[in-house]
Amino acid sequence: MKVEHLSTEVIKPCTSTPLSLRDYKISIVDELAPVMNVPVILYYPTDDIHSSGKENGTSISKCMHLKKSLSKVLTRFYPFAGRYMKDLYMVNCSDQGAEFVEAKVDIRLDELIGRGKDMKVELLNSLLPRPIGAGDEVTDPMLAVQVSVFACGGCAIGVLSSHRIADISTISTLIKEWATDAKLLLGAFDENDPVPVSPIWNSASLFPGKKMSGLPLGLIREKENIDNPKFATKKFYFSSSAIAKIRKKARLDNSSEKLPTRVQSLWGIIGKAIIDINVANPEKPRGFLIIQAVNMRERTDPPIPKNQCGNLYLISTVQSLAGEKGVEFQGLVDNLTRFVKRDVEVCKMLWTAGNGAQLISQGFNELIKCLTDPEMSCVNLFTDWSKSPFYEADFGWGKPVWVSSVNVPVINHVYLLRDKSGEGIEAWVNLKIDDMPKFEQDSNIMEFTT
């Protein structure tokens, strides 16, 4: 697959950001977020990219339509049109704009999606406009988009957003609102479509910044090496029936009718396989750490609303030792479940405890310490995107047929995305290139994935 860039331009908000909003202060969670861009790609099949509709009686191309609607949505999501001032721990929202790249691909969309497990995920990085690690410099856009048109006329919309101001909930809100504005421009909006919302950008007033450093994930600013990667990324599909079996297997007490959640059960299966690989060498330490992001929205008291933007998550950690034969599956799932429940309770106390900043930074500090701990065999980062409504993003020509991540060069990093039906889940697993064959041959992974 070859991708050729055709043009690059800057898209600015159609209405200037008021002077009172030009200096956007970031919260403590924003400060602690890793220096990276968060990638997501949405894929749309079509036979004619110039048939997206009529505006003022004139046929317009999809790219032009996307530019106009992006310009409109940026008026409400104005920090995405700014630039991060890392010395000041704030975003300068003076409408410098988002980056918009047009590209063409030399294969059909169905040729790419049809490769299934044999897909070389590293190739998907070429559908992104910038490197994942290129963030935090004053020249870096907070939002970059690449629209790649396939030989069949289908297209991929690759979105990169700075982790400095956005978690996955914020990104999915942006994409949903962008799609809503696009349908409004086409006159294709109907009564069943969601009404545009006003995003809230005051997270720094909830959790003031402390001028802290972000997570050191080791990402570089250069473009990811597609031809000779150090890390391998593969997607593993868990059907709804497989997930149901995993949940039953994960139950610690067979007499209990309550099953672990879908997500915690999958984390257990995947986490066990990764941990067992890392502790297989008897000369290596057996300590391990699992990190999960817990969304704070609607879990605090009073609740943080869904349309609150920025980074609003806690880091939930499970630290333990594996035995000579690895880690026990049911016990691992039980620990993952208990620790997330503990941190959900922490969410409720953030305002009343009086030490919200300390509670938030605790998990981040634990991760930073473990990343350099010689007694730690492996650190696993788990991120759940399966509840994000990416498959609802209809820009006026239908919903996406697929939503993907890419090759994120971070060891033992796993994303969960739901499939188009909403029943199955894709696990995007990033490992050292030598560890991937061992992971694929794990008995549980072989049994439950297709």
Please confirm, yes or no, whether 140 is among the known catalytic residues: no
Give the helix ranges, DSSP H, for 260-380.
262-278, 329-349, 356-371
Residues 337, 271: contact at Cβ < 8 Å?
no
Angle at 80 between CA 38 and CA 348, to 5 degrees: 70
Give the helix ranges, DSSP H, for 350-384.
356-371
User: How many residues in total does the chain contain?
Assistant: 450
Question: Residue for token digits 């333990």?
Answer: 320
Report how far apart the first and last C-alpha atoms of the chain are (Å, whole number). 24
Please confirm, yes or no, whether 301 is among the known catalytic residues: no
- Enumerate residues 6+ apart whose C-beta is below 8 A from 39: 125, 128, 132, 158, 159, 160, 405, 406, 408
Q: Which of 23, 373, 394, 419 is catalytic?
A: 394
Distance (Å, whole) CA 403 – CA 359: 34
Q: Which of 30, 140, 163, 334 is catalytic?
A: 163
Residue 285, classified by CB atoms within 10 Å of its CB into exposed (0-12), middle (13-18) or buried (19+), is: middle
**What amino acid positions are annotated as catalytic residues?**
163, 394
